[in-house]
Structure 1
């Protein structure tokens, strides 16, 4: 996506869980009526000690993708920008914009494989330090090889993630 910032991994920041919790409270107030599966901290910033892009990934369980469209206006008021990334699987937002991301928000149906996989992968990384170390090594390699190509960086992680699930 044009305008994307470079891929940059940083050391774990102990403020990431607090930043998630602050955002969770704001999201609950804005879109709580559409949340059916909880609001979860996912991605590498949700794994204590893990290097990550300094972007808080948030998974919100919704009933279905059509109903999730009702969240667009309330999310815009919280500075979330909708992007049609994998629209058959989720409604994806970044905050505040693609060039300066602080948060990624994934509205995903609770009955979908994607929803289950996001939580399962996070939990595996949290419970298996060796797996987490291998994942960080892969992310470093991908970030070095694709410093400004998020699509290649993300695609490069897919096989590893699939094998873990």
Structure 2
């Protein structure tokens, strides 16, 4: 069950990679003493996050992007998962790199509103040709889907929550993953 949850969270939480190299200047959020109060600043941080996930998938410091207490809501089919610290979330991201090493996004668009949330629309593709999950070997089947991801960031530029629209079960169906229930 733990591996299935990591697979689910990894697909949901990592589904928003950015394959474009956005020229947004230095959007590093490593210095948490810098306050990020503008929407443009928050979008810049997310673009930096997506760029790094694309270029450094299995070596980047994912934890540096997330706030303590980060909440993953997914598509709402499961209970929200709150991470006291980013450590266990980082484990999920690194697992995804081993499960679907070619997960990419394209045609992404960024939107924001008065709520402070950032909406990212994109098309995602990948192939489950990595490690086995929950005792099931990789199928070498691909997925492709369009999704809307909703992110929130705090004043320090740390990601505090994520929601998505596309259900993980539809990704499972495309790649032939069978979610075992205990």
TM-score range, shorter chain: under 0.3
TM-score when normalising by structure 2 = 0.25
Give the structure-1-normalised TM-score. 0.27
* Structure whose residues are more often helix by fraction: 1
Larger RCO (alpha carbons 8 Å, 6+ apart): 2
